[in-house]
A and B are shown apart, each in its own frame.
Chain A
Amino acid sequence: DVKVTQSSRYLVKRTGEKVFLECVQDMDHENMFWYRQDPGLGLRLIYFSYDVKMKEKGDIPEGYSVSREKKERFSLILESASTNQTSMYLCASSLVRTSGPREQYFGPGTRLTVT
């Protein structure tokens, strides 16, 4: 079974702090994704990475950055946390496919509260 783990289930940070959210997958997937989930808005893609040191912006990258130094690990960084970044953050991974459906496998999520 694919396993995607996230470093924390719950996190409370203060406004202005630098925050690191870590994600690790154990199935040698090339693609990794960071989403935020808010009530009524579903999942919105923040960033994704298709290879080590490669990244692309998603739909809502403002205020976030990412790092992928190793294939299995993808980090989301909030450079200066703000209260509007209070949310559930979900990490996912998938294989690169040239054909066929590209299902994503999700971690349990990190609920971040910024006070």
Chain B
Amino acid sequence: AQSVTQPDIHITVSEGASLELRCNYSYGATPYLFWYVQSPGQGLQLLLKYFSGDTLVQGIKGFEAEFKRSQSSFNLRKPSVHWSDAAEYFCAVGSPLGGGNKLTFGTGTQLKVEL
């Protein structure tokens, strides 16, 4: 069964600082990988996705993520954080082999941005 671990429950960064949110997955092959963001009181919005090709993926709002097969990781990065990036971030994994098109989500990382 696939699983996702987001080891950081809370992260605080200063505005303008760089950001890296960690995501590790467990799956027998290369899965489909996603990062979503949830602003307070809102649903989830897709930031970016990976399924093959270039291991560095660009997303919306200036975010990028790098797939590292050797480390089973798909960490999310942003070079300079803005106060509006404060939100909860979820990593998710899907199976390329079917599985009903379901996704498995991590428990989320809450990002706080200090001004």
Contacts and interface: CB of A to CB of B under 8 A. Distances in A.
B101 A97 contact: yes
Contacts, number: 59
B107 interface: yes
Nearest to B105: A43
Interface stretch (A60-68, A72-80, A103-111): A103-111
Given A48-B100, A50-B100, A94-B101, A102 B45 contact: no
B43 A4 contact: yes
Interface of B: 9, 32, 34, 36, 41-46, 49-51, 90, 94, 96, 100-103, 105-108
A48 B100 CA distance: 9
Band of interface residues on A: 20 to 34
B87 to A, nearest CB: 14
Q: Which 7 A-B pairs have the closest CB atoms?
A: A106-B43, A42-B107, A101-B32, A102-B101, A43-B105, A106-B44, A101-B51
A78 B45 CA distance: 26
Nearest to B99: A102
Contacts of A43: 44, 90, 105
A64 B57 CA distance: 38
Contacts of B102: 33, 45, 48, 58
A108 B41 CA distance: 7
B108 A50 contact: no
Nearest to A38: B107
A102 B103 contact: yes
Nearest to B44: A106
B107 A41 contact: yes
A71 B92 CA distance: 25
Contacts of B106: 42
Contacts of A92: 44
Given A42-B90, A42-B105, A43-B105, A100 B44 contact: no
